[in-house]
Amino acid sequence: MESPPIPRVDVLIPTFRPTPQHIKEALDGLFAQSFQNWRALIHDDASDTDIESVIEPYLKDPRITFVKSDERLGIGGNWNTCFKKTSLPIVAYLFQDDVWNSNYLETAVQILNENPSVGLVSMNHTYKLEKGIKAPEDYTVLQEIKKQCFTSGFHEGEKYLNEWIANGLWPNLIGEPDFVVMKRTDMDRAGLFKETMPQLLDAEYWVRMLLETDLYYYPKNSGSFRVHPTAASAQNRKRGKALFDRFITLDDLITKMPRGPQRKAALRAQVKHFEMMAEKYRTKRNRGDTIKYNGVGCIKWFCMRHPIVTLRTAIKTFTRNSK
């Protein structure tokens, strides 16, 4: 009798108060994979619901492990805990609301096998928008930009990063973590997700990964990412938690870059993003939205370093407020 193959892929499933039907659909999609050489860790972030009873039928498979945290870790903390508790060479996050197509893992593993320098595989997908989502057109625009600008196949990591920096790290075409498959060796060098960053911690992580490895984009639809009002990303946007994330990421990059044309391009992008951020801030304040100010010390330093830009932006914003 043949022994089962040694698993090659760790599927990391961080959960928090999952909708029973959604998590079942996600797990059904995992079990339906044409590539079965995986094991999965479901790590729950101290939910006050009985998730174990919901997923109990799936736990009969020895490849599935369930762990529930004793205390709330937050989004980044839960992602990082999943990573630290596993060890296989290929890492694939799967979120509780989303579904992979049946060839998802097979395709990603094949790409990694055929491209030794690639440690970051971005898999295209659709967005499943539910009622109550603000600005649903944002997702349509993102998909159109990806279609027009994100070339399929291989991308040299540093080159792609420089082009992304010049555009102010906008938009995040690489995508959400559960539609990106990575090599653990490159993740070890890049480090863990930045737990203090509330919303764009995936984009910030792609920046560090691109410094370590090359990128491959697979353009065919590989699954669906569910967007609904109670999801963490929608709640964070509603609470204004993402307003400063991209600026902070740019600032972290600039402080580590040597003097030269790349640093100048990053500084120009940061100035442009500062002006855009001020306009978004004005809009949110006028609407009465909640705005979180965590980690904005770097913005104060920016204002001190660039007083003319700051004054010009303040005048422009004040003038618009007065109209």
The tens digit of pLDDT for each residue in 115-163 reads: 999 999 999 999 998 887 776 788 899 999 999 999 999 999 999 999 9
Q: Which residue has the higher pLDDT, 312 or 222?
A: 222
More confident of the two residues 173 and 247: 173
* Local confidence band at 268 (pLDDT 50, 70, 90 cut-offs): confident
pLDDT given for residue 300 in this prediction: 67
Please state the rounded mean pLDDT for residues 278-307. Answer: 64
Residue spans of alpha helices (H) in the chain: 20-31, 51-55, 74-84, 104-114, 137-149, 157-166, 184-190, 201-210, 232-238, 245-256, 261-287, 297-305, 307-322
Q: Are 247 and 279 in contact (CB under 8 A)?
A: no
Check residue 18 and give its pLDDT.
95
Sheet containing strand 38-44, edge to edge, reads: 64-68, 38-44, 9-15, 90-93, 180-183, 118-123, 214-218, 153-155
> Which comes out higher in pLDDT, residue 287 or 182?
182
Position 19 scores a pLDDT of: 94
Q: Supply the DSSP symbol for 130.
A: P
Cα gap 120→182, rounded to integer Å: 5
pLDDT of 1 reads 45
Using the predicted structure, report yes or no on whether residue 321 has a pLDDT greater than 80. Answer: no
Is it the case that residue 90 has pLDDT exceeding 70?
A: yes
Cβ atoms of 90 and 107 within 8 Å: the answer is no
Secondary structure letter of residue 5 according to DSSP: P
As annotated, the residues of the chain forming the CATH 3.90.550.10 domain(s) are 9-238
* Residue 276 pLDDT grade (very low, low, confident, very high; cuts 50, 70, 90): confident
Number of C-alpha atoms within 13 angstroms, CB side, residue 37? 15
> What average pLDDT does the segment 63-81 reach?
97
Average pLDDT over residues 12-19: 96
Residue 279 is encoded by which pair of tokens? 């306009």
Q: Can you state the angle between helices 307-322 and 297-305, rounded to 10 degrees?
A: 110
Fold of 9-238: Spore Coat Polysaccharide Biosynthesis Protein SpsA; Chain A (3.90.550)
Tell whether the model's pLDDT for residue 2 goes beyond 70: no
